[in-house]
Structure 1
Amino acid sequence: MTPQDLKDRLLRPLRRELATGAEDKVVAGGLEKLLENLGQPFPEVQAALRGYRQLTPSERVERLHQAIQLLDGTPRPSGSGENPQPSPSPRGLEAGNLNFDSPVEGLSLGPGAKKKLNELGIRSVRDLLHTYPRRYEDRRTLQSLREVEEGQKATVFGKVLSRELVKTPKRGIQLVQVRLMDAWGWKFTAVWFNQPWVLKQIAEGASLVISGRVQRRGANLSIMVEYFEDEAGESLSTGRIVPVYPAKEGVGQAFLRRAAWRGLEAFSQIPDPLEPYRQEGALAHVSGLPSLDFALRQAHFPSAEEALEQALYRLKFDEFLLLELKVMLQSGNSALLGRTFRVTPEMVERFRAALPFTLTEAQERVLNEVLSDMQGERQMARLVQGDVGSGKTAVAAAALYIAACNNAQGALMAPTEILAKQHFANLTHYLYPLGVSLDLLVGSMSAAEKRGVYDRLKAGQTHVVVGTHALIQEQVEFRDLGLAIIDEEHRFGVMQRRALLGSRPDLIVMSATPIPRSLALTLYGDLEVSQIDQLPPGRIPVKTKVLPHKLRSQAYAFAQGEIAKGRQVFVVTPMIEESEAEGMEELAAATKLRNELTTLLPEVRIDLLHGKMPAAEKDAVMERFKAGQFDLLVSTTVIEVGVDIPQATLMIIENAERFGLAQLHQLRGRVGRGGLEAYCILIAGESSKKTLHRLRVIEESNDGFYIAEKDLELRGPGELRGVRQSGMPDLRIGDLVSDQEIIERARAFAQAILEADPYLDAPQNALLKREIQARAEAIGFREVI
C-alpha cells in the first residue's frame, strides 16, 4: 500500500468526523483508537489529535483541521465543519472566458462530455447549473457494513482490493465479486449477478460508493449491489449531502456531479439578476432571499439541510418570477393605464336594493375587489372564478351597472348562443329595472336585427350588449366600450379576445371551473384572481355516489324512477377528439350507448349530443332538452357551462375515472339548478384502489376549490384538463401544490418591477431581461389579454 493510500484511509474518517460535528462517534472505539493503527506512519497527526476525547467540540474542530491539513496540504476552508464548496478558478468571469451562455464544452470535462450532456438537453453553462438534482442522499456518515443488520439496505464506501468473475456450475449464473475495504479497515465483498461487463468498469485501487442489500454469513459480509459509482478521485460522492441528478443510461452520477462542480468553479461570483434589488433592500419582496451564487452552489452541493432549504426557496422564487414576468410582458403588461370609473356608495346601494336576494359574503368581497380596480388608474384585468351557481353573474351585473352610471358601455361575450341568451335574460332581470338598456347579438339573428344592434351600439343608446363571437365582427362599433366581460375565455382564441379588448376597456374574465389559486396565479399570470368560494343559502348540495361497473344497472333503474317523477337525466361518456378517425369512433360509441339505453329504458325519450355536431345543432338539442321535449340526454361532450335545465335532477357519468375531479364537479353542477333535490352517479369502469380513492373526493365534497386542490395534488398540473394546451410549463423545481406563498411573493415582485420599468429597459434589469430571453423555452404562458 502506497503512502498516499494510507493517507486516504485516514483522511476519510477525519473528514466525516469534521462533517458530523466532531462528536467522536464516527469510529468504533473513538478516533484515538483508529490513530493507534492507521496513524503510525504519521506521528505529527497523532500528536495533533492526542487526547481528542477530552477536548471541547470547538477544540476538536480546530485539531481536525490541523490534522487534515498535515495529511493533504489543503488550506482550512472558511466556515468550520462545512463541506467544501466549488471555489473560484482561473476560468472565472474575470478571465472573460466563460459566462452563462457559454457552451458546456468550455468546461473541459473530457472526451464525450458534450454528447452526454446534450442528450440531457444541456448545451450551455446556464442549462447545466439550472439542471437541479432530483433528490439528495446524506452520505456524511457512510456507515460500516459491520453496523448494518442482515437484509437491510445500505450505502457504503470502499477501496477495491481485488476482483474476479465466478461462474456457478449448476445454474450457469455469472457473479462479479469485488473485494473491498472500508474506511475502518473492515473487508467485505460486493456481488453483481449476471453483469460480467461490470468487471471492466472497476479497477483495483478504485474508490467505490455502493448501494445494496447486506448479507451476513458468519464473519463474512457481502452486499448485493443495486447501484454503484466510481468516486474517480474527487470527493463529490462521499462525506457530504450528495446530489442525484435526472440522468439517462450511459450518463453516470459521478460525471454529472463533476460537471456541475466544474460549472460552479468557473465563476468567482455567479451574477445575480436580483442583486440591484437585494442591495437596495427597498423592496420587501426580496428581503431575506439568499444570493443566486449561494443558491446554486448549495442546491448542487449542500453544506447542510438548512442551507439547501434556503437555496431551493430562492431557485423556486426565480422560476415563478420569470414565469410571471413573461406572462405580464407577453400580455402587454398589467401596469397599462386604463380608465378610471367613479364609484359612489349610492350607486352600489341602488344596485343592491334592486336585487331579489342578498349577496353572499364571498360575492361582497369579490365585488369590492372589482370596484376597487375600476376606480384605479390601471386597466382592470381580473379573473372571477367560482362554482356553478355561486353568483358570478350578479357581480358582473354590478360592474356593468357602474360602467353605465359613468356613461360607458359594457359587453359580455359568451362561447355559445344558448349561454349568451341565458346571460342576457339574467342581466336584463338585474339591470333593466335600474334603467340600463341591453341588447343581444348572436349569429342566428336576422341581418335586420343585427343592423339595429349595430346602430344602437354606435350611437351609445345601448349600455350593455351580450353576445357570442358576433361581438367582434367588423360591423360592431362601440361609442365608448369601458368594460368587457369574457365568460369561459379558454373557449375563445387569443385574437378573438384581443379583438374585443382593442380599445383597452377594463376586463373581467369569468370561469365556472374552479382551479387552485396557485395554478390560477401562474396560468393566468396577467390577471388578478378573485374566488367566489361560497354558494348562496338554500342551495341543496348534489348527492353523489360512486358505483363499480358491475352495479351499473342500478344507476339506470334509479334514472327510470327520476324520469317517472317528471325529471330529466344527463348521461355523459368520455370525449374522444384527437383525430378524425377517433371522432367517428366517438360518434359510434355514443350511438351504441343511446341504442343500449333505448332498449333498457323503452318508455324514455332519449336524444344525443356529440362532438361532431355543428355548434348550432348542439344549441338546438340543448334548447329542446330545456323545453322538456325529451327525458334523457346522452352526451359525449362537456355540457355547456352555465346552461340551466331546471328539471334535470340526475347526472350519470360513465367511465368517470377518465375525467379530472374538477371536470366531474363541473359536470355535476348541471343538475339541481331548479331547486329540486339532485343526484350524481359516477360509474367507475376501472375500479382499482387508486381510482376509487380519487373518485371518493367527489363523493365526499361539494367544494369546487377543495376538489380542484385535490385534483392538482393527485394528478399534477400537467394532467389537468386544458393546462397542457395552454402552455403551462413543466416546472423544474417549483411545486404548485405547496408553493403558493412563493408564487404570491414572486408575482407581487414581478408587478413592482414592471410598474417601475414596464419593458425591462432599465440597466438594472438587463440581466433579468436576458434571463427571460435565454430561458424562454422553459417558461410557458397563457395569453389572456
Structure 2
Amino acid sequence: MKTVTEGELKARLRKPLLLELKDGAQDRVVMGGLEALVENLARPFPEIRALFQGYGAKTPEERRKALEQALALLEDGEEARKEPPPKGGGRMGLEDPAHPLAPPQSRKRLAELGLRTVRDVLLYFPRRYEDRRALPGVRYLEDGQKATLSVKVLSKELVKTPKKGMTLVQVRAVDAWGWRLTLVWFNQTWVLNQIQEGASLIVTGKVRRQGGVQLYVEHFEDEGTESLSTGRIVPIYPAKEGVGQAFLRRTVHRALEKALPLEDPLSAYREEHGLMDFSFALKAIHFPEDERELARALLRLKFDEYLLLELKALLDAGGLVLGRAFRVEEAWVEAFRKALPFPLTRAQERVMGEIAKDMQSPRQMARLLQGDVGSGKTVVAAFALFLAAKNGAQGALMAPTEILARQHYENLLRYLFPLGVKVELLLGSMGERERRGVLERLKSGEAQVAVGTHALIQEGVGFRDLGLAVVDEEHRFGVLQRRALLKMAQHPPDVLVMSATPIPRSLALTLYGDLEVSVLDEMPPGRKPVKTKVLPHALRLQAYAFAREEIRKGHQVFVVAPAIEESEALELKAATALYEELKGLLPEARLALLHGRMPAREKEEVMEAFRQGAFDLLVSTTVIEVGVDIPKATLIVVENAERFGLAQLHQLRGRVGRGGLEGYALFIAGEASRATLKRLKVLEASTDGFYIAEMDLKLRGPGELRGTRQSGYPELRLGDLAEDTEIIEKARALAKRILEEDPTLSKPQHQALRRELQAQAERIGFREVI
C-alpha cells in the first residue's frame, strides 16, 4: 500500500480550501461540510485542524480568516523546503519581492507594513526589546505585569462563560519551583489541540492575581523548539492587527539567512571609526546576543544613516565647490572694530574668525550663522560683506520681506558707510527710475553691497562681480531662491545663511548638512531678558488688564492667536474672533489685525504702520516678522500657548523689549494639564534659545526633516537627534572627506555607498542622486 507523503496531503488540502475561498466561504464546496474533510485529511497538521473546528457555525468573515490562515500554513511549509538563493554581496536580490520569505497570503500582511522586498524586511528595525533570557518564577509575579515563563502542563479544559459567544481555554500548569498558575486563552479553541498534558511550554502574557495566578496568554511555544521568542533578547516590531510578532521574527530571520553576508559600504573606513561589520550589525540589531552587541549594532547603523543623509545634503548642494580665496588683513579687521558704535561680544569675535578663515580658503564658504534674537548677527554679516568689498568684490544680502530688508539696509549703512563701503537697497516696490539707477550701479560695480528682497533675483538684475551672498531667514525662501542668487555670480560666491531660530546643533547639522555651523551664543551687554509668565486659561483676563496698563504708558502690545491645525482659514477665524473680542475688552486701544491670508503688500503695510506707532495693539497669527524692531513693543500675549513648540514661543517673545524698555511675555495655556504646564514652565526658567531648542527637540521630536518626503531626504529609522550629536559630527566629517577624494563616488571603494544612496532615492521616489 502506497504511503501518502505530507506534501501530497497538503496538495489535496490546498485545492478545496482555495475553491472554498473563491466561493465566498459559504461551506458548500464539499458535500458534508469542509470541517469533516479537513478533519480527515489534516491529521498530521493539528494547527490546521484546529482552525476548522466548528467551521459550519462560523460567520463568512470568520471562515475566510480560517481559510487564509490555513493556506498560509500550507504554503509556509513548502517555502521552507525550497533551496535558498545564493548569498551575495552588494544589493543582489535585495530589491526582489519578499516572496522567498513568506507565502502569498502572508505577503499581503507584510505589504500592509510596507514590507515588499528583502531590503524592506532587513531594514524593518525593532521598536524595542524584551529581555527573556532569565525567566521568573510564578511567586515573583505582580498583578498587571507582562511576563514570560517556563511551565509544565498539568491539565486543560474548555470553559463556556455566561457571556454569549465567549469561550475560554484554561490550562493548569506549574513552574520549575512547583508554583501553580492557570493559562488562559479567549475564543481560541484550537489551542486545546495544540497543547498536550505533560508538555513543557514557554508562555508570554499579562498576569492577573484573582484568587490565584492567571496568565492571559499572548504567545506560546514548545520549550524544546529552537525559539526566536524566548531565551534571548527578543525584538518587538511595529505591527498591525493580524500580524503577529512571532511571524515577523521568523520573516526577518529568513531574510537575514537569505541575504547575508552583504557587501559593507564602509569597509574602507570601518576600522578607523571602530564600527561593527555591516552584515553583523544587521543581524545583531534584530537578534542581539547581549546588550553590548546591540549597542554596537545601533551605533554602526546610526552612523550609516547619518552618513547617507550628509552625503545626500552635500551632493544636493553641488558637492564641495571651489570658489575664490579672499585676502584678510589684520588692519582691515581692526578698522572694522573701531568703526562700530559698540564693542563686539566674544561670540561675535569667534564667529568673525571662523568666517575670515572660510573666506581665505580657496573652497567656497558655505556657513550657517545661528543666533538668538538680539545676538548681533547683522554685525557679523556686515564684517563678511566688508571683507568682500575690500577684495574688490560685491556682496548681496537677501531678506524675506521689505520691512526686514529696509532694517538691514539701515543697519549696514551705520556699520559700513564710515568704512567707505557703498550700500544700495533694491525693493520690488521701488519706482522704475529709482530701480534703474540701482541696477546700473550694481552692474558697474559702483555699488559694493546690495540689500533687497526677491527683487535681487528678478530679471534684469546683474552684478559686476558678486563674491558673497548673505541670505537672512533662509527657511522663508527655500533652496531654489538661494540658488537663483548664487547663479548671478560669474564664479561660485561665498555663502552665509543667517537664522534667528535657535536650532540644536544635531538638528542644524542634519537640516543644513551642506553648511558649516556658527553659533552666536552670547547676548550684547545691556540687553534685558524678557520677563515671562505662564497663565492658566482661567486667568487670561489678567493678561489683558496688564496689556491695558502697558498701552496707557504709551507702549505697544502683540497678541498672537492660536494656530489651529494647518489651515489659514481656521487661523483667520481664530485671529478675527480674538480681534473682535479685544475691541470690546480694550475699547480705548487702537487695534490692527494681521493674518496669513492677507496679500504680502497689505501685511507689510500693517506691520510698518504698527512700527510707526499708528496702532497700540496688533492681533496676529504667527506671521509676525522675525527680526523686525518695534522699539515701543513691551508685551506679547500668546493664546493657547500649548499649541506651539517651545522654540516658537521663544521666537515670539523676542518681538518685545527690543528698544531698551522692559519686555514681558504672557503665555496662556488653554489646556492646563500637569505635562503642559511643566513644558511651558521651561520658558519661565530660561531665556537661552539654544537650551530651549534642545528641550523642544527632546519633548516634541524633530518632526519631518526639512520636509523630507518633498525633498527626497529619508526619514531616520534609528537616529535620535536629541542624543546623537557626536555620531552626526563624525559622519558629517567622513562624508566631506569622501567627497573631497571622490566627488562622484565612482571609485571602487565607494560603489556600495553610491548604490545605497540610489536605493534610498528610489524608495522615496527620487530616481537620481548623482
Query: TM > 0.5 between the two?
Result: yes
1:772 maps to 757
Work out whether 1:331 is the aligned partner of 2:307: no
Distance apart, 1:105 and its partner CA = 1.4
Structure 1 counterpart of 2:126, one-letter code: P
Tell me the residue number matched to 2:216: 225
Query: What is aligned with 1:130?
Result: 123
Inter-partner Cα distance in structure 2 for 1:551 and 1:201: 65
Structure 2's unaligned 5+ residue stretches are 1-82
Q: Is the 1:411–1:464 contact (alpha carbons within 8 Å) kept by the matching residues of 2?
A: yes
Q: CA deviation at 1:159?
A: 5.7
Which residues in structure 2 correspond to 1:497-576 (within 5 Å)?
Answer: 497-502=482-487, 503=489, 504-575=492-563
User: Which position in structure 2 is the counterpart of 1:17?
Assistant: none
Match of residue 440 from structure 1: 425
* 1:427–1:724 CA distance, 2 compared to 1 (3 A): farther
Q: Secondary structure at the match of 2:182?
A: strand
Q: Residues 257-285 of structure 1, C-alpha deviation per residue, up to 9 Å, x if partnerless?
A: 1112112212452221111333xx5xx4x
Q: Distance in 2 between matches of 1:118 and 1:778?
A: 14
The residue number in structure 2 matching 1:276 is 268
Q: How far apart are 1:577 and its partner, in Å?
A: 7.7
**Aligned equivalent of 1:294:** 280
Match of 2:746 among 739, 746, 761: 761
Q: Residues 592 and 662 from structure 1, CA distance in 2 versus in 1: closer, same or farther, beyond 3 angstroms?
A: same
Change beyond 3 A, Cα 1:653–1:148? closer
- How far off its partner does 1:531 sit? 0.9
% of aligned pairs identical? Answer: 64
Task: Specify the alignment match of 1:390 in structure 2.
Answer: 375
Q: Kindly state the Cα deviation for residue 240 of structure 1 after the two structures are TM-superposed.
A: 1.1
Letter in 1 for 2:339: A
Q: Which residue of 2 aligns with 1:349?
A: 334
Deviations 1:555-610 (A, max 9, x none): 1111111111111111111235845xx52x43343233222212211211111111
- Paired residues of 1:103 and 1:123 also in contact (CA < 8 A): yes
Q: Give the corresponding residue for 1:472.
A: 457
Q: Could you tell me how far apart the structure 2 residues matched to 1:553 and 1:97 are?
A: 64
Matched, 1:260 2:248: no
Using the TM superposition, give the Cα deviation of residue 544 of structure 1 relative to its aligned residue in structure 2, in angstroms.
Answer: 0.4
Contact in 1 for aligned 2:95/2:117 (Cα 8 Å): yes
Q: CA deviation at 1:312?
A: 0.5
**Counterpart position of 1:591:** 576
Provide TM-score, normalisation by structure 1: 0.82
Match of 2:157 in 1: 164
Partner residue, 2:68: none
Please give the secondary structure, in 2, of the residue aligned with 1:775: helix
What is the Cα deviation at residue 234 of structure 1? 3.4
1:115 paired residue number: 108
**Separation in 2, partners of 1:261, 1:121:** 17
d(CA) in 1 for partners of 2:329 and 2:386?
12
Q: Secondary structure at the match of 2:269?
A: helix
Cα shift at 1:449: 0.7
Q: Which amino acid aligns with 1:322?
A: L
Deviations 1:450-507 (A, max 9, x none): 1101101110000000000000011001000000001011111332221101132110
- 1:599 maps to a residue whose letter is G
**Aligned residues of 1:660 and 1:720 also touching (Cα < 8 A):** no
Does structure 2 retain, via aligned residues, the 8 Å contact 1:385–1:531? yes
Say whether residues 1:415 and 2:400 are aligned partners.
Answer: yes
Matching residue of 1:71: none
* CA 183–476 in structure 1, closer or farther in 2 if over 3 Å, else same: same
Shift in CA distance, 613/498, structure 1 to aligned 2, threshold 3 Å: same
1:106 equivalenced with 2:100 (yes/no): yes
C-alpha offsets along residues 644-671 of structure 1, whole Å, 9 cap, x if unaligned?
0001001111111111111110110010
Q: Aligned residue pairs: how many?
A: 678
- Asked if the contact 2:87/2:260 (under 8 Å) is kept, the reply is yes
Q: Which runs of 5+ in 1 are unaligned?
A: 1-88
Structure 2 counterpart SS, 1:106:
coil
| Counterpart for residue 8 of structure 1 | none
Q: State the partner residue of 2:204.
A: 210
Q: State the 1:224 CA deviation.
A: 2.9
Note if contact 2:314-2:514 (Cα within 8 Å) is conserved in structure 1.
yes
Does 1:313 pair with 2:299?
Answer: yes
Q: CA RMSD in A?
A: 2.6
Q: Which of 615, 618, 624 is the matching residue for 1:639? A: 624
Query: 1:202 offset after TM fit, Å?
Result: 4.5
**CA deviations over 1:301-341 (Å, ceiling 9, x no partner):** 111111111111101111111111111111211x1111111
Displacement, 1:548?
Answer: 0.9
Paired position in structure 1 for 2:439: 454
Q: Give, in angstroms, the shift of residue 228 of structure 1.
A: 1.9
Does the 8 Å CA contact 2:144/2:206 hold for their aligned counterparts? no
Q: SS of 2:99's equivalent?
A: helix
1:707, 1:453 → 2: CA distance?
A: 42
Q: Distance in 1 between matches of 2:144 and 2:239?
A: 28
Distance 1:114 1:468, change over 3 A: same
CA distance in 1, matches of 2:329, 2:193: 80
Looking at structure 2, the residues matched to 202 and 237 of structure 1 have their Cα atoms a distance apart, in angstroms, of 18
Contact 1:481–1:505 (8 Å) recurs in 2 = yes
Q: Which stretch of structure 1 is more off in the superposition, 636-645 or 110-119?
A: 110-119
Mapped to 2, the partners of 1:700 and 1:637 lie a distance apart of 23
The residue number in structure 2 matching 1:691 is: 676
Listed as ranges, the matches of 1:33-48 within 5 Å are none
SS in 2 for 1:616: helix
TM-score by length of 2: 0.83
Partners of 1:99 and 1:623 lie apart in 2 by 62
Determine the C-alpha separation between the residues in 2 that align with 1:778 and 1:513: 32
- Contact 2:284/2:297 (<8 A) preserved: yes
Asked if the contact 2:399/2:471 (under 8 Å) is kept, the reply is: yes
- What residue is the counterpart of 1:93 in the other structure? 87
The 3 A distance-change label for structure 1 pair 609 and 322 is: same
Alignment partner, residue 232 of structure 2: 240
Query: d(CA) in 2 for partners of 1:539 and 1:762?
Result: 54
Q: CA separation in 2, counterparts of 1:670 and 1:336?
A: 38
